[in-house]
Amino acid sequence: MPCSCQGAGKPETDITLRYPDKTAELNAYLDALPLEAHPDRKRGVLIQSLHRAQQIFGYLPAEVQALVARKLEISIAEVYGVISFYSYFTDKPVGRYKINICTGTACFVKGANKILDEFRRQLNIREGESTPDGKFFLGALRCVGACSLAPVVMVNDRVYGNVTAKMVSEILADCAD
């Protein structure tokens, strides 16, 4: 009787099969890592590998986690433990426009929460979520170091300074596909 967890996943669900180019790119990156000098320190490259994998796939689905775990010979539980620990990593697909509201102290005292509320209201999602159409991701992050422009909103790499609740709809309008 073949076991349910045997063999490869199905192409329609396994993202590594659905995107062979991306998978090849990640494999090439992992294979090029200098791991042989210290076989017992392979996991030292875990975080950079996850950064790279997230860059390639946009997020870290289970199959990608498994791929990294296999290459570095650590358990998938530990890989997931790391992913869920660091706020930079996500195992869910995120919107194309990553809207991040800085909630560092300077932005907080200048009313970042009101801006966040307004985004939540207009997009009808909470922080850490993406809109169902996959366009917007809403997040909060700590201090981007642009305290003089507080409150600050980042959309992908673009920084909006001195943001008011009124500007929220303008910012969203800037995000044209």
Partner 1 sequence: MINLTVNDRPVSVPEGSTILEAARKLKIRIPTLCHFKLDCFHVEHRSGSCRICVVEVEGRPNLAPACCTPVAEGMKVHTNTLRAINARRTILDLLLSDHPKDCLVCPKNLHCRLQSLAQEMGLHQVLYKGEQSTYNKDLSSRAIARDLDKCIMCRRCETACNTIQTVGVFSGVNRGFDAVVAPAEFRPLAETQCVFCGQCVQACPVGALSEISYKYDVWRALDDSSRTVVVQTAPAVRVAIGEEFGLPPGSISTGKLVAALKLLGFDKVFDTDFAADLTIMEETTELIERIKNGRNLPILTSCCPGWVKFLEHQFPELIYMPSSAKSPQQMFGAIAKTWYADRIGVKPEKMTVVSIMPCLSKKYEASRDEFTRDGVPDVDIVLSTRELADMIREAGIDFAALEEAPYDAPLGESTGAAVIFGASGGVLEAALRTAADWLTGTSLESVDFEAVRGLEGIKEAVVKIGDLELKAAVCSGLGNARKLLEKIKRGEAQYHAIEIMACPGGCLNGGGQPYHRGDSSVLERRMEALYRADRELPRRKSHENPDIQLLYREFLQEPGSHIAHELLHTHYFKRKRW
Partner 2 sequence: MKIDSVEKLRARAASAREAAGRVPVKILISMGTCGLAAGAQPVRQALRDEIAARNLGNSLEVVEVGCMGLCHCEPSLIAWNTATGAATIYGDVSPQQIPAILETAPGEIAAGTRTLERTWYYPEFEEKPDDPRVLQSRIVLRNTGRLNPESLDSYLAADGYAALARALTQMTPAEVIDEIVRSGLRGRGGGGFPTGRKWQFAAAQPAGEKFMICNADEGDPGAFMDRAVLEGDPHAVLEAMAIGGYATGASNGVIYIRAEYPLAVKRLDIAIRQAEEAGLLGKNIFGSGFDFSIEIKYGAGAFVCGEETALIHSIEGCRGEPTFKPPFPAVQGLWKRPTVVNNVETYACVAAILRKGAEWFRSIGTPGSPGTKVFALAGKVAQVGLVEVPMGTKLRDMIFQLGGGIKNGRRFKAVQTGGPSGGCITEASLDVPIDYESLKALGSMMGSGGMIVMDEDDCMINIARFFLEFTLDESCGKCTPCRIGNRRLYEMLCEICDGRGTMDTLERLKRLSAVIKDTALCGLGQTSPNPVLSTLKNFEDEYLAHIRDNRCPAGVCPNLIHYEITERCVGCGICARQCPVGCIAGERKMIHQIDQTRCVKCGVCYQVCKFHAVEKC
Q: Which residues bind partner 2 (CB under 8 A)?
A: 38, 41, 43-48, 50-51, 72, 74, 78, 81-82, 85-89, 103-106, 108-109, 141-150, 152, 159, 161
Give 75 or 148: the residue with its C-beta nearer to partner 1: 75
Give 74 or 167: the residue with its C-beta nearer to partner 1: 74
Burial of 53 from C-beta contacts in 10 A (0-12 / 13-18 / 19+) = buried
Helical H runs in the chain?
A: 15-18, 20-32, 46-57, 62-72, 76-85, 105-109, 112-123, 167-174
Closest separation between CB of residue 116 and partner 1, Å?
A: 19
Q: Which of 18, 80, 108, 154 binds partner 1 (CB under 8 A)?
A: 80
Structure tokens at 158: 């673009």
DSSP 86: S
Closest separation between CB of residue 158 and partner 1, Å?
A: 29
